[in-house]
Structure 1
Amino acid sequence: MSSEDTFGSDADERSEGTVGRRSLLGALAAAGLAGCPSDGGDATATDGETDASTPTVTPEGAADATPEATDTESGTDTPTEPDPAVERRIREHRTSELAVEVTDGSGEAVADAEVAVAMRAHEFGFGTAVNAGTLIEESSEGDEYRERIPELFNKAVIENQMKWRFWESDPELADAAVEWLLEQGLDVRGHVCIWGRSDAGAIPSDVLTAIDDRDAETIRRRSMDHIEEIITHYGDDVTEWEVVNEAMHAYQLQLGVYGDDIDQAEPWNGAVAPWTSPLLAEWYGKADEVRRENDLDIGLGVNDFNQFGYSYTDGRYQSQIEHLNDDAVQLDTVGLQAHVGARTGEFNTNSEPDERVSASRVAEEIDKWADYGASVKITEFDTYNGDDWEGDEQRARVLENYLRGAFSHPDVEDFLMWGFWDGRHWRSEAPLFYEDWSEKPAYDVWTGLVFDEWWTEESGTTDESGAFSTTGFHGEYEVTATVDGTEVTETVTVSEGGATVELSPDV
C-alpha cells in the first residue's frame, strides 16, 4: 500500500448542535472574531500545518478472500438510483410518528383545525472539520467560511488546533474556535488528546526528546497530565474525545515506552502490539477517571482509517476495541474515517481496494463495528484518495452512497466530512466547494439529502377527533395549530418512539 493509503487520514494533519433548513439559516452572516492569529513561524504550531507522509507498514493477511463481484456502473459500485432496502431502513430507523391533538379552551377536540409541522433541526449529526485559523482570523475567505459552516452543518471538529503541541502552543486559538462554534449552535467533537505521529507537529518537542531517549517515565507523566488538562479545560463544551487517534498506525509515543518490544516492520508480530498495549488502556482509563471525577457528560472514542476498503484493519481494530472495553473503559464511539479511494482492486482486500461501493455495501461494512456497545461515527469523510476517479460527478455519487448507507444504519450517529472547501482541505480535494467557492456536484447531494429528502414539512387539518399525524425525520420541530385565525405554536422533539403534542389555541 502507498503511504497515502496507510496514513492518509488527518493531516489530521490538516484537521455535536442543530442543522436548520438552508432557507432559515441562509441569512446568518457569522461575525468574525478578531485576535488569536496563528504564527507561521517554525517555533509555533499553527492550524494550517499539514503532515508529512509516514512510512508504510505492510499489513498481515495478504491472501484475502475476494468478495463476489458486483455489477457496477463505469467500473464502480455507484448506482444512480437509491437502493429500496436502504430507503426502507432509513424510514425504519430515522423517522417516527408525530401526533398532534388540538382542543379548545374547554378541552374539547377541534375538528378541521389547520396544522403545520415544520422541522427546525436534525437529531443526526451532519458535520465537518474546521480550520481554527480561518474561522477566527479576519479575512475575506474567512467571511465565506464562517457563513457556510452554520448553514450546512450541526457538528464540528477542530482540524488541528486541539492536537497536543498545537494546543500547548496556542490554546487561545482553539478556545476561540470552540466558542464561535458553540455560539452558532454546533456541537464540538474533541480531536484529539493523544496522536502518536512524530512527523506531524502533534507531539511537543520535549516529549519527542523523551521518545528518542526511551524515557518512559516522562512520556507517561506528560501524556497523562495532558489528557487531564485538555479534557478538564473544555469540560462539557466538547461532547466527546478521541482519546488516542490512529493507534493502529501511529505509535511513536509507545515506541518510547516499549522500545524493541514493538516490531516497527510488522507491529502485529511484536511482543507488544500498539493497539492492544497496556499503555493504550492506561490512557483511556485516565480519560475515564478525569470525566468521572469532574462529573462530565462526555463520550470517549477511538478513531482510525482504512476500515472500509482494506481487510487488514478488521481484526486489528476489533481487537483494539475489545481490549479497551475489557481493560480500560466501555467505549462510547467507534470512529471510521472514510477517506474514500478510487482504485482498481477488489473492495475489502489489501491490494489497492476500490472503495467506490454502494450504500448497501457501506452499511454492511459498518455492521462490523456495531456490536461493541458504542455508537459508530463516520469521522473524516472525503474522496481525495486513489487515481481512478472519473470526475466530480462520480465523487458526488460516492458521497451519496456513503451518506445513505451510514444514515440507514441504526448504530450510526454522525457523519462528518474532513473539511468541505478546497481552500481549507488537507489534499485540496474537499467534497462541497472548489477553491473559488463555486459548488461541486456533491454540494447538491449533501443539501438535497440533509435539507430536502430527509427534512419534514407537512400541513393539514385535524379529523373529527381533533387529531393530525405525520411521519417525520428525527429532530426538533415547530408545530402550529390555527383555529378561527388564532394560532398557537410549540416546539417538540421527535425521536425514536415518536412524540405527541397537544395544542389549544385561545379561541
Structure 2
Amino acid sequence: MSSEDTDGSGADGAVDSSVDRRSLLGALAAAGLAGCPSDGGDGTATEGGTTPTPTPTPDDGEATPETTDSPSGTDTVTEPDPTVERRIRDHRTSDLTVEVTDGSGATVADAEVEVAMQAHEFGFGTAVNAGTLIEESSEGDEYREYIPELFNKAVIENQMKWRFWESDPELADAAVEWLLDQGLDVRGHVCIWGRSDVGAIPSDVLTAIEDGDAETIRERSMAHIEDIVTHYGDDVTEWEVVNEAMHAYQLQLGVYGDQIDSEEPWTGEIVPWRSPLLAEWYSKADEVRRENDLDIGLGVNDFNQFGYSYTDGRYQSQIEHLNDTAVQLDTVGLQAHVGARSGEFNTNSDPDERVSASRVAEEIDTWAGYGASVKITEFDTYAGDDWADDEQRAQVLENYLRGAFSHPDVTDFLMWGFWDGRHWQEEAPLFYEDWSEKPAFDVWTGLVYDEWWTEETGTTDEAGAFSTTGFHGEYEVTATVDGTEVTETVTLSDGGAVVELTPNA
C-alpha cells in the first residue's frame, strides 16, 4: 500500500479540457438522466481580535469537526436565480453559425445540420487518490470508470506533496500518465505546503525547522520547486506553488523564528503570507518555467474565503504581495469546503456557508480583478451532522456550481473527491461508499451533461445558414445534402464561431 493511503489523509485541492459525454450516455440513460472547512485550522486569532473555533483543515484527517444544529433560515434557495442564469448565458454561451455551400460555392437551403457538443471549455474536475487509481482493486475499477466519465480535470490528492513525491515519484507519475491518457488536464498540487503534522514535509527538512536551519530550508525548498516543476513539465496545466500560506507556515517559522508571532501572526515583524520567502518561492517557480519554456500557470490556494470574513484582507494582501514582488499570478484558488453551521455568513463565528448561487458569485467578486483566473479548487460539503439531509447538500452543490459557472473570472470547479470511500471526511459529493448515487449526482450530471450541454439539429435557411447558441467547448458539426454529409470539429468560445461546410465538394 502506498504512503498516500496510510499517511497524511489529505484534502484541499481550460480551454483544452474535455468531458467526453458519449461514454456516459448509456449509463445516464439507464438512470433516467440522459438528455476547510474550517475557520482557521491552526486555531490562531484573526485580525480584528476574533478567535475562530479550531476545526480540522482539509488536509487533516485527525481532528473531529464540531457540530451544531442547522439554522432555521439558510440561504439555500431551491430555484435558479434569473440573474445568475442570465450571467451564465452571457458568459458561457456564444453564437455558432453553420453555412452550407455546394461545390461551386453557392449557398444551399434546407440542408440538414447537426451540432453536437463533444467537450466543455470550462473545467469540471475532482481530486483523485493515486493509490486507488493505479493499484489493482475492485474499488479501483469503479473509481477508474467514473473519473473520465464525469470529469475533464483532476488534481492528485496527496502524492505530489513534497515527502510523498520524493519517497515514491513513480506512483504520482503513473497517476498523471493515466489521467492524461484519459484526456483529463492535471493540476499540480502542491510544491510547498507548510504543515508539519500531516507527513507532507521530508524528515530532514522537519529537522531543519526544529533547528532553525534557514539555509537548509531555503536550499531544499528551492531545489524541490525546480525538481518537481521540471519533472512534469507541460504535463500539468498549473502549479499551486504554496498551499494555504495563510494557515500553514511551519517552514517559514524555521527561517524567521521569533520574527513571526505564532499567536497573532498578522502582528509580527514578518507576516507569513506577505513574507520575502513566500515571494522567493514564487519567483523561483517563475524562473523555472521561463528557463524551461513551460506553458504552465502559477497559483495560490487556501480555504475559508466564502464563509469567514478574516480571510478577505489576508488573502488579498497575499495576492497583491506576490503580484507586486514576485510574479503575476495566473490563478487564485478558493477551496470551498462548505460547512453547515449556525452563525452568520461572512463573519468569524461559525458562519453558515449554505448560501445562494448569487451570494456565491458575489463572494467570488472579492477575488476577481487581480489579473488571474479564479478556480474553485476543493469543493465539498463536510460536517455531516449539521446538514438537514443529502438533498440539502445537493442543493448547496447546485448553488455553488451555478454561482461559479456564472462568474466570468472562474475557469474551473473541482471537488475534493467524489466518492465516500476516498474522501478526507467520508462525505464526498456524488457517491456513498457502496457506490450508490447521492442526490448531488443528479445535480452534477444534470447541469454538466444536460442543461449546460448543447445538441441541436435543423435545416439551413434561404441564405444557406443555420444558427444556434451553444455552451463554450468543442463541437462536431455535420451538414447533409442529398444524402452526402461532411463533419468538421469546431471550437466555440467568446466571440462565437462560423463554419462553412460543403458536403458535395
- CA distance in structure 2 between the aligned counterparts of 1:197 and 1:26, rounded to whole angstroms: 44
- CA distance in structure 2 between the aligned counterparts of 1:203 and 1:22, rounded to whole angstroms: 42
2:43 is aligned with 1:56: yes
- CA distance in structure 2 between the aligned counterparts of 1:55 and 1:446, rounded to whole angstroms: 33
What's the TM-score once normalised by structure 2's chain length?
Answer: 0.90
Superposed displacement of residue 80, structure 1:
1.1
Q: Where do residues 134-153 of structure 1 align in structure 2 (5 Å cutoff)?
A: 134-153=132-151
Aligned residues: 467
2:5 is aligned with 1:18: no
Structure 2 residue ranges without an equivalent (≥5): 1-7, 28-39, 52-69
Alpha-carbon spacing, 1:328–1:431, altered in 2? closer, same or farther (3 Å): same
Match of 2:117 in 1: 119
SS in structure 2 at match of 1:188: strand
- CA distance in structure 2 between the aligned counterparts of 1:414 and 1:200, rounded to whole angstroms: 27
Superposed displacement of residue 56, structure 1:
1.2
Superposed displacement of residue 12, structure 1:
3.4
Match of 1:333 in 2: 331
8 Å Cα contact 2:12/2:377 also seen in 1:
no
Superposed displacement of residue 79, structure 1:
1.0
- CA distance in structure 2 between the aligned counterparts of 1:24 and 1:55, rounded to whole angstroms: 42
- CA distance in structure 1 between the aligned counterparts of 2:123 and 2:42, rounded to whole angstroms: 34
Choose the corresponding residue for 1:406, options 404, 407, 414: 404
Superposed displacement of residue 58, structure 1:
1.9
- CA distance in structure 2 between the aligned counterparts of 1:203 and 1:375, rounded to whole angstroms: 29
Choose the corresponding residue for 1:458, options 456, 459, 477: 456
What's the TM-score once normalised by structure 1's chain length?
Answer: 0.90
Deviations 1:447-504 (A, max 9, x none): 0000000000001000011000000000000000000111000000000000011000
2:197 is aligned with 1:210: no
2:243 is aligned with 1:245: yes
Choose the corresponding residue for 1:272, options 263, 270, 273: 270
Superposed displacement of residue 76, structure 1:
1.1
8 Å Cα contact 1:26/1:151 also seen in 2:
no
Match of 2:490 in 1: 492
Superposed displacement of residue 291, structure 1:
0.1
Match of 1:38 in 2: none
SS in structure 1 at match of 2:96: strand
Structure 1 residue ranges without an equivalent (≥5): 1-9, 28-52, 65-71
Superposed displacement of residue 385, structure 1:
3.2
Q: What amino acid maps onto 1:348 in structure 2?
A: N
- CA distance in structure 2 between the aligned counterparts of 1:409 and 1:26, rounded to whole angstroms: 32
| Ranges of 4+ aligned residues in structure 1 off by more than 6 Å | none
- CA distance in structure 2 between the aligned counterparts of 1:260 and 1:214, rounded to whole angstroms: 10
2:184 is aligned with 1:178: no
SS in structure 2 at match of 1:368: helix
Superposed displacement of residue 444, structure 1:
0.2
- CA distance in structure 1 between the aligned counterparts of 2:235 and 2:414, rounded to whole angstroms: 18
Q: What amino acid maps onto 2:183 in structure 1?
A: G
Alpha-carbon spacing, 1:149–1:73, altered in 2? closer, same or farther (3 Å): same
- CA distance in structure 2 between the aligned counterparts of 1:398 and 1:505, rounded to whole angstroms: 47
2:192 is aligned with 1:194: yes
- CA distance in structure 2 between the aligned counterparts of 1:393 and 1:387, rounded to whole angstroms: 14
8 Å Cα contact 2:339/2:352 also seen in 1:
yes
Deviations 1:316-363 (A, max 9, x none): 000000000000000000000000000000000000000000000000
SS in structure 1 at match of 2:87: helix
Q: Where do residues 386-405 of structure 1 align in structure 2 (5 Å cutoff)?
A: 387-405=385-403
Q: Where do residues 23-38 of structure 1 align in structure 2 (5 Å cutoff)?
A: 23=23
Q: What amino acid maps onto 2:43 in structure 1?
A: T
| Percentage of pairs with the same residue | 85
SS in structure 2 at match of 1:250: coil
Superposed displacement of residue 75, structure 1:
1.8
8 Å Cα contact 1:483/1:505 also seen in 2:
yes
Q: Where do residues 264-413 of structure 1 align in structure 2 (5 Å cutoff)?
A: 264-385=262-383, 387-413=385-411
8 Å Cα contact 2:116/2:456 also seen in 1:
yes
8 Å Cα contact 1:377/1:414 also seen in 2:
yes
Deviations 1:355-402 (A, max 9, x none): 000000000000000010000000000001374210100000000000
